[in-house]
Structure 1
Amino acid sequence: MKKRLLLAALFGLPIYAGPAMAADGAALFQSNCSVCHQASGQGLPGQFPPLAGRIDKIAATPDGKKYVIAVALNGLMGSITAQGNDYAGFMPSFKTLPDDQIAAILNHVAGLPAGPDATVFTPAAIAAERAEALTPTTVAEKRKALDAQHPLP
Structure 2
Amino acid sequence: MLIAAGLLSASYASLANAAGVQVFSSRCSACHQPDGAGVPGQFPRLKGRISQIAASKDGRGYLITVVLYGMFGAINVDGRQISGMMPPMGSLSDQDIADTLNFAVALEKPRKKVAVFTAAEVKTVRGAGRLPAAGVAKQRAELATKGVIP
> TM-score w.r.t. structure 1 length?
0.79
Deviation string 1:73-111 (CA, Å, 9 cap, x unpaired) is 000100111122211100000000001000000011011
SS in 2 for 1:108: helix
- Letter paired with 1:126: V
User: What does residue 42 of structure 1 align with?
Assistant: 37
Instruction: Say if 2:124 is the partner of 1:140.
Output: no
- Shift of the 35–137 alpha-carbon distance from structure 1 to 2, 3 Å rule, reads same
- Structure 2: unaligned runs, 5 residues or longer: 1-16
Report percent identity of matched pairs: 42
Say which is worse superposed, 143-152 or 47-56, in terms of deviation.
143-152
User: What does residue 149 of structure 1 align with?
Assistant: 146
Contact 1:77–1:136 (CA under 8 A) maintained in structure 2 = yes
Contact 1:103–1:126 (CA under 8 A) maintained in structure 2 = yes
Equivalent of 2:123, from 124, 127, 142?
Answer: 127
Q: Determine which structure has greater relative contact order: mean sequence separation of CA pairs < 8 Å that are 6+ residues apart, divided by chain length.
A: 2
Contact 1:72–1:102 (CA under 8 A) maintained in structure 2 = yes
- Structure 1: unaligned runs, 5 residues or longer: 1-21
Rg larger in 1 or in 2?
1
User: What does residue 15 of structure 1 align with?
Assistant: none
Contact 2:69–2:132 (CA under 8 A) maintained in structure 1 = yes
- Letter paired with 1:129: V
User: What does residue 7 of structure 2 align with?
Assistant: none
SS in 2 for 1:90: strand
Contact 1:34–1:41 (CA under 8 A) maintained in structure 2 = yes
User: What does residue 71 of structure 1 align with?
Assistant: 66
- Superposition RMSD on alpha carbons, in Å? 1.6
Shift of 1:152: 2.2
Runs of 4+ more than 4 Å apart: none
1:43-62 equivalences under 5 Å are 43-62=38-57
User: What does residue 94 of structure 1 align with?
Assistant: 89
Count of residue pairs brought into register by the alignment: 130
SS in 2 for 1:138: helix
> TM-score w.r.t. structure 2 length?
0.81
Give distance in 2, aligned partners of 1:33 and 1:46.
Answer: 17
Contact 1:78–1:140 (CA under 8 A) maintained in structure 2 = yes
